[in-house]
A and B are shown apart, each in its own frame.
Chain A
Amino acid sequence: MTTQNHIIRMDDIRKTYDTGKVKVDALKGIHLEIEKGEMIAIVGPSGSGKSTLMNLIGCLDTPTSGTYEIGGQAVSGVTRDELAEIRNRRVGFVFQAFNLLPHITALENVELPMLFGGIKPAERHKRASELLERVGLGDRLDHKPTELSGGQMQRVAIARALAMEPDIVLADEPTGNLDSSAGGDIMSIFTDLWQQGRTIVIITHDPALSRRASRVVEIHDGRITSDQATNAAA
């Protein structure tokens, strides 16, 4: 394990939500290192802090204390715009609620991160079409999200997550809104991506899914209580 292989490095990360009336300590000292090529499942009961951790990893939010590096770049004291740039270049998100823009087509949704990343229109179009083809939606490029099934929407979201060739793909309960068959398809796509060498972090409640990961991290009440490699091989 050399330092260069660490994509994520968290040391004593704490997150306190201050809602004015009450303070919620969502994370109480997290140590976590993620290597390139890992597929990690984060499990734990509801309210244990999984999504909070995911948001910190993805730079959607900043920790209250502790040090955090993504791809060797320290994430502290950076501006909102710098965070946006880190999200754009290093992180690909897949959400439970898909979070596609409803008024624009599948292709335009996949192009969106590249638009923010300053990729030229022709290149954007080419890459987006290729990615949609790869997730099996080559014939749905010009469909709007409302014209797609849940499983198809999540595949668009995965294509969008890959658009900027991120260091890491983060998925927060990506199968939570899908039936088991569509969920299985989505899980297979993630497994394929991992086997192609991508680094993936998935939050899930489903033990069947967590068994497919190379490593399972368990969280209880804001702390990591278990961190184990599985037998699954890349």
Chain B
Amino acid sequence: MKDVLKQLARDLKAEKLRTFLTIFGIVWGTVAISLMLAFGTGLHTQLIKSTAGLGDRIVIAWPGLTSIPFEGLGKGRKIRITDDDLTTARGNVPGLKALSAEYSNNLKVEYGTKTLSVDTSGVAPEFGSMRNLIPQAGGRFIDDIDLAEQRRTAFIGNKLAKDIFGETPAVGKTITVNQSPFLVVGVLVEKDQDSSYSGRDNEKMFIPSTTFRALNGDKYVDNFVFQAAASTDTKAVIEKLRSALGGRLRFDAKDKEALSMWDTTEQFQFFDTFMLAFNAFLGIIGVLTLVVGGIGVSNIMNVVVEERTREIGIKMALGAKQRWILSQFLFETMLVTFLGGAIGFAISLTVCAIFPKLGLAEYVGNPVVSPLVAALTSLALGLVGLVAGYFPARDAARLDPVVAMKL
């Protein structure tokens, strides 16, 4: 075993250029594949994160002006929706999992010497889970009792919390909102978000919708957010909700302007399809890279066999068994493959470590060399190396020593 390795080191040293070329080929293949997949994973994670920042397969709806005459009523009429309308409509639409009204305004927040104008939403408890507004440890979102009793409680964005309280804990503190004291019950965990419909959640404040209405005298919702029990039913739920509200508020269910909706599940579907296509693309490129690399390695090994045919003949004449010749070639290929793979991974990891510093993460995410990708790539390369090494090695060991020595 030690002799085999010693011989190996000697042969590799004697064939510097060839060894370099082979290792370079494998390094290139490994870097290409693991970086491609790493960036793919990073992009996927980023897409999920930014979409999840918006919400968990939700639909956001805004009342607007009618654009189609309905039952003798002209167009251009303003549609106004109340909590009652929503509660009634909800009862008529099966398959609806959650629904929350949203009232919005800029409110004056005071704490100590600080005064800020804060984008505030009055919402129901369900809003929190629909919009992925997850509280940091020790806090909570608005709950049913807050809503029922019109409590003056507030859930605030993490950036807002920092602006007001600095590094000291926010939960349990009392802030003044439009001259009324509010208890901070929760702070948002940091989340990636670059799609939104009304400002970033980390700078916002959420209070119970009942409290909001009492504070501001609002009667009509600014918008509302809902979620189907099964995301595949979203289209049907939208239609039912439109006709339920249309019947009650007297607008045409087909009137997209009277009640405009943003179905974020469409975006999910797009991402899912996009990622599927993207992964297929990466997969094909990866397989081709491996195949081309494998052919290269295999060819180089074949050239070696020809160069060394005489040497193999001599060794066999001196009593080397086929197994010896075979294992030397296999070892050589595997060592070269392993070396190339290891260097390739090191390069990929370095790139992934440096990449976040370039500040492009917001657009394409941070590449991650996942353990699965790592395992698969090394497995594939090992296999390529094995196949590439096996056939030339077998050919070499099958040579007739007399013939081989004459070459």
Residues of A with Cβ closer than 8 Å to B? 55, 58, 60-61, 80-81, 84-85, 87-89, 93, 95, 97, 99-101, 103-104, 112-113, 115-117, 121, 160, 164
Contact = CB atoms under 8 A, between A and B. Distances in A.
A87 B323 contact: no
Given A55-B402, A61-B402, A103-B10, A84 B320 contact: yes
Nearest to B311: A101
Instruction: Output the residue of A81, A85, A117, A121 with the most chain B CB within 10 A.
Output: A81
A112 B315 contact: yes
A99 B314 contact: yes
Nearest to A115: B3
A48 to B, nearest CB: 17
A113 B318 contact: yes
Contacts of A81: 321-323
A27 B319 CA distance: 25
A87 B319 contact: yes
Nearest to B405: A99
Contact of B405 (A88, A95, A115, A160): A95
A58 B319 CA distance: 11
A60 B402 contact: yes
Interface in B1-47: 3, 10-11, 14
Contacts of A61: 400, 402
Nearest to A113: B318
Interface residues of B, number: 21
Contacts of A104: 10
Nearest to B2: A121
Contacts of B316: 84
A100 B311 CA distance: 8
Given A60-B401, A101-B311, A116-B324, A88 B318 contact: yes
A85 B320 CA distance: 8
Given A84-B320, A160-B318, 9 more contacts: A60-B317, A61-B402, A80-B322, A84-B322, A85-B319, A101-B315, A103-B10, A112-B318, A113-B319
User: Closest 4 CB pairs between A and B?
Assistant: A88-B319, A116-B319, A103-B14, A81-B321
B317 to A, nearest CB: 6
A61 to B, nearest CB: 5
A157 to B, nearest CB: 10
A81 B309 CA distance: 18
16 contacts: A55-B402, A58-B317, A61-B400, A81-B322, A81-B323, A84-B316, A84-B319, A84-B322, A89-B319, A93-B318, A99-B314, A103-B11, A112-B315, A112-B318, A116-B318, A116-B321
B325 to A, nearest CB: 10
Contacts of B11: 103
A60 B405 CA distance: 11
Nearest to A98: B314
Contacts of B405: 95, 97, 99
A84 B314 CA distance: 11
Contacts of A58: 317
A117 B400 CA distance: 20
Contacts of B324: 116
A58 B405 CA distance: 14
Contacts of A88: 318-319
Interface string B198-238: 00000000000000000000000000000000000000000
Interface string B293-334: 000000000000000001100111111111110000000000
A43 B319 CA distance: 27
Contact of A99 (B3, B14, B317, B320): B317
B402 A116 contact: no
Contacts of A116: 315, 318-321, 324
Nearest to A160: B318
Contacts of A101: 311, 314-315
Contacts of A80: 321-322
Nearest to B319: A88
A112 B316 CA distance: 11
Interface string B100-141: 000000000000000000000000000000000000000000
Instruction: Output the residue of A55, A84, A97, A113 with the most chain B CB within 10 A.
Output: A84
A87 B318 contact: yes
Nearest to A58: B317
A55 to B, nearest CB: 5
Interface in B314-369: 314-324
Nearest to B313: A99
B45 to A, nearest CB: 51
A94 to B, nearest CB: 11
A117 B402 contact: no
Nearest to A163: B318
B321 A85 contact: yes
A136 B350 CA distance: 57
Nearest to A103: B14
Contact of B321 (A84, A100, A121): A84
Contacts of B14: 103
Nearest to A108: B10
A114 to B, nearest CB: 10
Contacts of B400: 61
Contacts of B322: 80-81, 84
A88 B322 CA distance: 13
A158 to B, nearest CB: 14
Contacts of B310: 99
A58 B317 CA distance: 9
B343 to A, nearest CB: 25
